[in-house]
Amino acid sequence: EEGRYAYPQWWVDQVKAQYGAQAARILLAGNQHPPMTLRVNGRRNNAADYLALLTRHGIAAQLVALDIVQSGAIQAEAIQLEQAVSVDKLPGFFDGLVSVQDAGAQYAAHFLDVHDGMRVLDACAAPGGKSTHLLELADINLWAVDKDASRLARVQENLQRLQLSAKLTVGDIAQSDGWWDGKLFQRILADVPCSASGVVRRHPDIKWLRRPADIVGFAQQQRDILHNLWRMLENGGKLLYVTCSIFTQENQHVIDEFLQNNKDAQQLALPVANGVSAAEFINGQMLPDDHHDGFFYALLRKQ
C-alpha cells in the first residue's frame, strides 16, 4: 500500500480507519496536481467580469460555485484556471483585482459572517489570504496576529497590493501575554497549526516528514489555542475554527472536547446550500478533490 498510494503505512491505515470506502479516493487525490484557483476582489470586480477578462487574455478558466447561503441567497464564486500560470500573467493582479487562493479556503471569510464596524481577530494570519478576504467583504477593524515575523511581512505585502489595511502584531495566540490589549472581539478566525494532511499535494514532503505522534501534539496545541482565544470573544460572538487537515483527531474531536468543557459554546451549522456543498461538509470536513484542498470548519458561538 505504501507503493500503491505513495504514503507511509500509518497514514494509509489512519485514512482507511476513518473514511472506509472513501479512503482510496482521498489518498489518490493527495497525489494529484493541485488546481490554481483565484479569488476576485469584490470591492473592485466580480467573478463573471473577471472570467471574461481572463478569456480576452487567452487564459482558459471556469467559475466554481461555493454555494454559501447569505441573506437568503446563494452567493460567492471562485475561478479555477485550466492550467496554472505565473501571477504576472493574471490581468490586474498587481493592481489588486484578484488573489490566488484555494476554493476550499475561500469559505472561511464567508462562514465567519463579518459586518461593517466589527472588531475581528485573525489568529495565525500569515500569509494573509483569509485576512484580506475578510477585509474585502466588510469594513472591519481587523487585527492580524502571527508568531512568525517574516511570515507576517507577507500579510503586509498582500494588504498593500489589495489596498487594504489592518493592525499587524507578532504574537503567540496560545497565550495572550505581550500582545492582547484586553478588549473583546466580535469575531475570531482561528486558522490553527495542524498536520496539513489536506494539502499534501501542494507539499508532498509533509506525508513523509509527519509521524503519528505529531497528530497528538497538534491536537494539544489546538486545544490550548482554542482555550486562550475563547476568553477573547464577546458574548454572542462567533469563532471559526479552521484546519487544513483530514484527521478527525485535529478536527471534530478537538471541538467535541472543547464543547464538553465550555458550556457557553455552541457549534452552529455551516451556511452551505443543500446539495453538493452540503454533502461535502459532512461534520464540517471538506475532502480534497479536483476543485479544492482538504479543510475542516467548525463555527462556534459564545452564548
Q: What pLDDT, in 10s, does the model give residues 200-236?
A: 999 999 999 999 999 999 999 999 999 999 999 999 9
Query: Above pLDDT 70, what percent of the chain?
Result: 96
- How many beta carbons lie within 10 A of that of residue 269, not counting itself? 9
For residue range 119-163, list pLDDT tens digits in order.
999 999 999 999 999 999 999 999 999 999 999 999 999 999 999
pLDDT at residue 250 tops 80: yes
CA proximity to 226, closest of 199, 260, 201, 271: 260
| Secondary structure string (H, E, C) spanning 103-139 | CCCCHHHHHHCCCCCCEEEEECCCCCHHHHHHHHHCC
The confidence score (pLDDT) of residue 146 equals 95
Angle ∠(260,237,273) on CA atoms, nearest 5: 85
Average pLDDT, integer, range 177-181:
90
pTM of the complete model:
0.95
Q: And the C-alpha cell for 204?
A: 508532498
* Whether pLDDT at 279 is above 80: no
Residue 244 annotated as catalytic: yes
Write out pLDDT tens, residues 196-208. Answer: 999 999 999 999 9
pLDDT of 75 above 80: no
Predicted confidence band at 274 (pLDDT cuts at 50, 70, 90)? low
Taking 80 as the threshold, does the pLDDT of residue 65 lie above it? yes
Q: Which residues are paired to 40 by β-bridges?
A: 98
Catalytic-role residue among 233, 244, 246, 265: 244
Mean pLDDT for the chain overall: 94
Q: Note whether 124 and 173 are within 8 A (CB).
A: yes
Task: Let me know the angle formed at the C-alpha of 165 by 242 and 116, rounded to the nearest 5 degrees.
Answer: 70
**16-61 residue pLDDT tens:** 999 999 999 999 999 999 999 999 999 999 999 999 999 999 999 9
Q: What percent of the chain has pLDDT over 90?
A: 90
pLDDT of residue 153: 95
106: pLDDT strictly greater than 70: yes
97 — pLDDT class (breaks 50, 70, 90): very high
Q: Are strands 285-286 and 295-302 parallel, antiparallel or unpaired?
A: antiparallel
Q: Is the pLDDT of residue 190 over 70?
A: yes
pLDDT band at 68 (very low <50, low <70, confident <90, very high): confident
d(CA 61, CA 65): 13
Mean pLDDT of 90-111: 96
Residue 72 pLDDT: 61
